Amino acid sequence: REKTQRTAIRPNVAQPAIAPLERSSPNFILLPFGIVLSLALAGGIGLATELLDKSVRTTQDITRHLDVAMLGAIPDIDDEETKIPRVETATRDVPRSMVAEAFRRVRTTLQFAAPADRQRTVVVTSPVPQDGKTTIASNLAIVQAQSGRRVLLIDANLRRPEIQRVFEGVSQQGLTNILVSDGTLATAVSRTKIPNLDVMGSGPLPPNPIDLLTGNTA
């Protein structure tokens, strides 16, 4: 079989090999410079990616990208060792929990953020639904009332109001009745079981909340 293959394959020499003039070997002097240049290039790419990344993953990202001060951070309820029956009223139901303590820190930071006369109104909002607006607003209102301040919690969510679910006995009249001059504060505001805390519900939901909030109906 080997003889048959040798006769079947007949290689032809196209050009004879040329012997090298000298021996070639790696330049060990340039090797460290190549390593340093590679590391610098990799670090530059990583730094550029970090600077161009506008994602918000940590509290430091909020301060860096939005240029606003952080009032505090509320821990995830799943990390809470104490059982919380309802997170919307955690500061009242479980005052010794980590969540309640975090809201009290936010209250303290908020008090030192500006003079008291400039903090008569605090707005709680978010870019998308189910971000925790009701949880933040209700707990913050509770801790403010617990500190001795008179608080009126107004549910201005005219699409998915939740304050009447959190607090019992909220009047059917609310913010929309006040905006269309169909009620008074006495009928729209409801007292809660928490001292110093009153609640105003959203009231009847309008077909187009934007027109009601931006119009001159009040």
The pLDDT tens digits of the residues spanning 78-96 come to: 666 778 888 889 999 988 8
Q: Is the whole-model pTM more than 0.85? A: no
> What are 18-56's pLDDT values in tens digits?
888 888 777 777 788 888 899 999 999 988 887 787 777
Are the C-beta atoms of residues 62 and 68 closer than 8 Å to each other? yes
Report how far Cα 97 is from the mean position of its chain's Cα atoms. Answer: 21
